[in-house]
Structure 1
């Protein structure tokens, strides 16, 4: 009996001994690049993550989330990002929110992911501040003072230079949403966003110049900002630019300009522009119409090409990431910064 038991025990021990290395290999990340330097660097980063380095945990989690140099693994990404997030790593908190809402479809509520979003926002992560403001404005996150909180987080992001946040903060002051209405402050925030190319801010600022709300009335400034937005293919700006050109129709060239901008807006389906284009057609000569239509074709080609380039760029990566979790440079933080957090 003893001899048989020993044989059985030996067999069992042999089985466990043989099985353990197989499990260890299965748990090792599968690196997809052939670079030996990358493999060494990832191994070092993984070791630091296992030792509790939050910076390294964020980078390793990001690599798994994106499939950057390793086989994409959402579970491993979530595990490492959560470890870093629980240590208070702001970028990891935002990245964990992104992963939870965009790649892990296990939760039907935003409540848990928004917890990480709020922590990141309160630590100054720009993208988190803007995203959280959007959630409050759109009522995707319930709160008794959601409008005030939306304005607060827009202000945080706006002060860090986020163009869309600057536009929405201007809109809050313009409409009195979550803040006391103030047309001068609205115009100032619209201007900051407009200078960065934010098209909605350019349109609203132009309208303010037309109406003299928060700024001194100026047709020239209205035209300036409508033109910038129209060149970005804003149908409303194109239509309004056409109307301004009609008002200056003392010169024969302006009727052509009016037709061009009105036609571009009409091509985008703006009903008022479609009707206005028919009226302008009856006011210009055949030679003027020919010149105007040639300009419309050139602008349409430019807008179409721009849209195609934008689409190609947007489709390259479906998971919008922040800087901390994208690329090899995220895997290898600058020496001084990494060492300071060891």
Structure 2
């Protein structure tokens, strides 16, 4: 079995099969499998919901440079789910994911100064500037503010 089979199983809702594929791959260090396993723990699909395990697997994948995991890890830090809330650490991981072009991270990066979540750039003009830049580049998720 390969990673694509796991992703296909996950996306089709066959979480039991996805878990059987992702678990050994994640334990062997595959960042994509680790990120999907983290997501399964976070949402409680195919496995008992466990925010601490979600954090563990997102962190492993994020440290290997996987953008989706960096974004999800950042969100966990911002929310305090599975880890002590730390807005600065959350912002750091969101920034890393955005630097890799992760669309949702880029959008969140623009929102964070507006929401007061990024102490390093707690400035409404910075947030609006980031959103404008991303909209000009065609990142549609940045064109409509949340809320």
TM superposition score category, shorter chain reference:
0.7 to 0.9
Q: Among residues 142, 166, 169, which one is paired with 2:143 in the alignment?
A: 166
- Return closer, same or farther for 1:130/1:152 CA change in 2, 3 Å cut-off: same
User: 2 CA distance for matches of 1:96 and 1:119?
Assistant: 11
- Return closer, same or farther for 1:127/1:156 CA change in 2, 3 Å cut-off: farther
TM-score of the superposition, structure 1-length normalised?
0.35
What corresponds to 2:56 in structure 1? 79
Q: Among residues 13, 21, 29, which one is paired with 1:52 in the alignment?
A: 29
What corresponds to 2:39 in structure 1? 62
Q: Where do 5+ consecutive residues of structure 2 fail to align?
A: 1-13
User: 1 CA distance for matches of 2:47 and 2:91?
Assistant: 28
- Return closer, same or farther for 1:62/1:151 CA change in 2, 3 Å cut-off: same
Q: Let me know the Cα RMSD of the aligned residues.
A: 2.6
- Equivalence map 1:237-248=2 (5 Å): none
User: 2 CA distance for matches of 1:63 and 1:146?
Assistant: 35
Cα distance, 1:75 vs structure 2: 1.1
User: 2 CA distance for matches of 1:167 and 1:59?
Assistant: 27
User: 1 CA distance for matches of 2:90 and 2:96?
Assistant: 10
What corresponds to 1:114 in structure 2? 91
How many correspondences in the alignment? 131
User: 1 CA distance for matches of 2:84 and 2:40?
Assistant: 21
- Return closer, same or farther for 1:75/1:138 CA change in 2, 3 Å cut-off: closer
- Cα-to-partner distance string for 1:68-92 (whole Å, 9 max, x where unaligned): 1110011111101000000010000
What corresponds to 2:112 in structure 1? 135
8 Å CA contact 2:78, 2:117 repeated in 1:
no
Q: Among residues 83, 94, 97, which one is paired with 2:74 in the alignment?
A: 97
Cα distance, 1:152 vs structure 2: 4.0
8 Å CA contact 2:78, 2:91 repeated in 1:
no
8 Å CA contact 1:65, 1:73 repeated in 2:
yes
TM-score of the superposition, structure 2-length normalised?
0.74
- Return closer, same or farther for 1:143/1:81 CA change in 2, 3 Å cut-off: closer
Q: Report which of the two structures shows the higher radius of gyration computed on alpha carbons.
A: 1
